[in-house]
Each structure stands twice: as C-alpha cells, then as structure tokens.
Amino acid sequence: MLTSASKVFGNEDYLRIAERNLNFVLENQNPDGSWFYAVDGVRDFVDHYHTCFVMKSLAKIHALTGHAGIVGALGKGVSYYSNNLFDSDGLPKPFSRAPRLTVYKRELYDCAECINLCLLLRDRFPQLEATLEKVVTHILEAWTKPDGSFRSRKLHLGWDNVPMHRWGQSQMFRSLAFYFRESAKTAEERGEARFHALPHNKEIISSSEQCLTFS
C-alpha cells in the first residue's frame, strides 16, 4: 500500500517506509523459500493464504519499482509454495505442516488467494497456469452451492457449508471476478471473438450472478 501511495502522491517518505517493510520481508524469508507466520519464535508455521499475501505484495511492489531483490525471493517462494502447500490432489492445503490438530482438509480462503496469486505470477512462473485451472475447476464443480454461496471448508468428513462473509465468500467472489477479467484481456489480445466460450467463463458468470443474488 505504501509503495503504491508513494507513486500516486509523489511522496518519498512513503517509499522509504515501504522499503524498510520490504527489507524486513526479504530478510526474513527462510532458506527453503518460505515465510513463517511470525518471527516471534513461537508461531513458526507456514500457512497457505498468508504465504499468498506475502508473494502477492512482492509481485505488486516489483511491478511498481522493479526492485532487484524481489525476483529471487519470488522464485524461491513459488518453489516452496508449489511443493509444500498443495495436497496429493494438487489442491491448496492450509499448512505445509499443521501446527495443531485441524478438522478440515481445505479452506475456501486458501483457494481464493491461490487464484489471486496464480493470476499475478503465471506469466513469470508458467507452472502456476496448471494450478490456476485446476483450482478454478474444482471451485466451480465442488464449492458452489445452488443458493449462490460457496462452501466454507472441506472437512475430513463432509463439508462446512456456513457462508461467512469475511472468511472466504467475498474473497472467492473477487478472485473469480479477477479470473474473468484476465480471461477477457487474454481473449482480446489473442483476437478471440467468442470470449464466453472460453473455459470456465459461462460457469463463472452463472456462479457470480447467483453469488450476488445470495449476498
């Protein structure tokens, strides 16, 4: 936010503060490419959507500044992310190693942030394209409900179907809208006239309309 604000308002003070925060993030990346939830020596677990938050911000900062140190950090981060934060089905899992007993296998929030991250980085890391398509397909097939809401969690047995506004519903709606927009841009660049016939777009339009009705 501060990096963006420094550009919008022409304020170098914002950029200096942003650079200190950026340096903190780069310096606290682990040798394997991960970031702990906290550096307090207690909450040293690695979870899915916070890892996405870190790399999304790095990608956006790099787009604004071209900071050289970000490229290497993203490369290591994507490698760790791809190899440790997906289950045997190739779908997002909450933790690389769960810090406590969990009653769920997957979470809507993780899937939403996975879609966001893959859209931001797929041009630079082509392996994320396959991940993106797998997760979007899975959401449309298994997580959308007839009333327009999304399932919240895949439990070890069954589902948590309670639609919580902040915890996944809004994020997934935004992620699918982002995917839809990027698909439209890609179609335009390729000169594809039949945009609505592209993979997932009919399903996303229907799901989004239902979600808006539910909301």
Q: What is the pLDDT of residues 46-95, one digit of tens each?
A: 999 999 999 999 999 999 999 999 999 999 999 999 999 999 999 999 99
Strand ranges inside 63-175, DSSP E:
104-107, 153-155, 159-160
- Torsions phi, psi of 84, nearest 5? -130, -15
- Tokens matching residue 100: 């406590």
pLDDT (0 to 100) of residue 201: 62
pLDDT (0 to 100) of residue 166: 80
Look at the block and give the residue holding tokens 């200190």. 20
pLDDT (0 to 100) of residue 3: 97
CA–CA gap between residue 122 and residue 171 (Å, rounded) = 19
| Beta strands across the sheet bearing 153-155 | 104-107, 153-155, 159-160
Look at the block and give the residue holding tokens 């039949």. 194
- Checking if the pLDDT of 7 tops 90, the result is yes
Q: Which residues contact 28 (CB under 8 A, 6 or more apart)?
A: 35, 36, 39
- Tokens matching residue 15: 């950029």
CA–CA gap between residue 1 and residue 151 (Å, rounded) = 30
Q: What is the pLDDT of residues 183-213, one digit of tens each?
A: 888 777 776 555 454 556 666 666 666 666 6
Mean pLDDT of 154-170: 91
- Predicted TM-score (pTM) of this structure: 0.88
Q: What is the pLDDT of residues 32-60, one digit of tens each?
A: 999 999 999 899 999 999 999 999 999 99
Torsion of CA 80, 85, 88, 91, to 10 degrees: -120
The residue type of 96 is S
Lowest-pLDDT range, 12-21, 23-32, 143-152, 194-203?
A: 194-203
pLDDT (0 to 100) of residue 213: 62
**Percent of the chain topping pLDDT 90:** 77
Look at the block and give the residue holding tokens 């397909």. 137
